[in-house]
Amino acid sequence: MPQKHRKTVQRKPRADAQRNRERILEVAKEAFARHGANASLDDIAKEAGVGPGTLYRHFPAREELLQAVYRTDLEKLAAAEQKFAQTMAPTDALRAWLLLFVDAIAAKQLIAPALNTLLGDPKKVFEASHAKMHQAIRALVKRGVESGEIRSDLDPVDLLRALIGVSNVASAPDWQPSARRLVDILIVGSRPIK
């Protein structure tokens, strides 16, 4: 037990810190859903009953807050990949997962605003959930390529980008059927050219 007399003993994290962090996340999820990804951070802090300083210490950048808010949802989505991969043919699995992705965006107005910021931005492509999503789509496509059902010159992430593009650019209130149709097109278009 090196903890006993190391200089850098790990203290148990303070209870109030934990509490505040969770409250901020709750309020933020609500706020992002209501006001979009640009909701005022100071307002979120206020509604969570903390000062702005506190919010910014927990989440130095807006991105990080968004990331934290949607992390679990994204990871759940990524996890679904394995289930599909195990029970379906490659192409079907890919299609199913893409549709699930669309549904997830649709179901929760929540994720939509976050995704473009998350999946896309030039910055950190290293975040945990980010990486898991990439891994998921890559695995699906790779399996398809190996079985010969998917053309090999395909950047898996582009599929996601296309869908995100459609959804977040969504002008029409009926974007969801559009997105589902697009999935179909992407799938068909992803077959190898014979």
Partner DNA sequence: GGTAAAATGGAGACTGTCTCCGAATTAATA
Partner DNA sequence: TATTAATTCGGAGACAGTCTCCATTTTACC
Which parts of this chain interact with DNA (CB under 7 A)?
4, 9, 11-17, 20-21, 38-43, 49-54, 56-58, 60-62
Reference 150, options 82, 113, 97; nearest CA is: 97
Contact range with a second copy by CB under 8 A, out of 15-23, 42-50, 80-88, 174-182: 174-182
By beta-carbon proximity to a second copy, the closer residue of 132 and 178 is 178
Among 33, 127, 170, 176, binds a second copy (CB under 8 A): 170
- Which of a second copy, DNA, none has residue 146 at its interface (CB below 5 to 8 Å by kind)? none
Contact range with a second copy by CB under 8 A, out of 11-19, 66-74, 104-112, 155-163: 155-163
Q: Who contacts 118 (Cβ-Cβ below 8 Å, separation ≥6)?
A: 63, 66, 67, 70, 74, 127, 129, 130
Check residue 194 for interaction with a second copy (CB under 8 A): no
Output the smallest distance, CB 38 to a second copy, in A. 11
Task: Give the Cα-Cα-Cα angle 92, 93, 98 (nearest 5 degrees).
Answer: 100
Residues near a second copy (CB under 8 A) are 116, 119-122, 125, 153-155, 158, 161-166, 168-171, 178-179, 181-182, 184-191, 193
